[in-house]
Amino acid sequence: MVVHNAVEQRLGSFQRGLAPADGSGMSRENQVSTETLAKWLASFDLNDPAGIAMLDSLATPGNGTLRNRFKEDHSLGASIHAKSGYILGVCALSGYIIPDQKTWNSNASDHDAHSLSFSIIVNGVKGSVKGAKKMQEAIVFAAINYVNEN
């Protein structure tokens, strides 16, 4: 009930895509939709203390849970702040894409106005999650290209 309340507090309503079994995030009975995760991430103002703390808590390519992720050089034009997760058969990646200042000609500290929250969960993975991770990275790179072009 605590997880439901915390999410409802940020999003303002009950979320159908949320069924927590415990607070660990490691139970097969925990269920959350990518829509709910992305909305929850988007609810943070990345210029306020809570949003800054959220952003700072997430890994960036080459660090933390993204230590071995996003190694291809795509001349990003954006920074990625995300958390990956894995339990047998499930591979997740959720976080933010923040375009570089030069990409959107705005105040560098105004992350919130131009950031994109995302959540990609792949269920039913048989064997290695290598393919799922590559697909997640390709989706994030495509989103970055989209943001940079628009």
How does pLDDT run across 86-127, given as a tens digit for each residue? 888 999 999 999 987 654 444 445 554 578 999 999 999 998
What is the residue range of 64's domain? Answer: 59-149
CB atoms within 10 A of CB 75: 6
CB atoms within 10 A of CB 19: 13
> pLDDT in tens for each of the 150 residues of the chain?
677 677 777 787 766 777 777 766 667 777 788 998 999 999 999 999 999 999 999 999 989 989 999 877 656 788 999 999 988 899 999 999 998 765 444 444 555 457 899 999 999 999 899 999 999 999 999 998 887 777
Q: Are 21 and 27 in contact (CB under 8 A)?
A: yes
In a domain, 12, yes or no: no
In a domain, 74, yes or no: yes
CA angle 80, 57, 19 (to 5 degrees): 95
- What's the total number of domains in the chain? 1
Residue carrying the six token digits 């500290």? 109
In a domain, 109, yes or no: yes
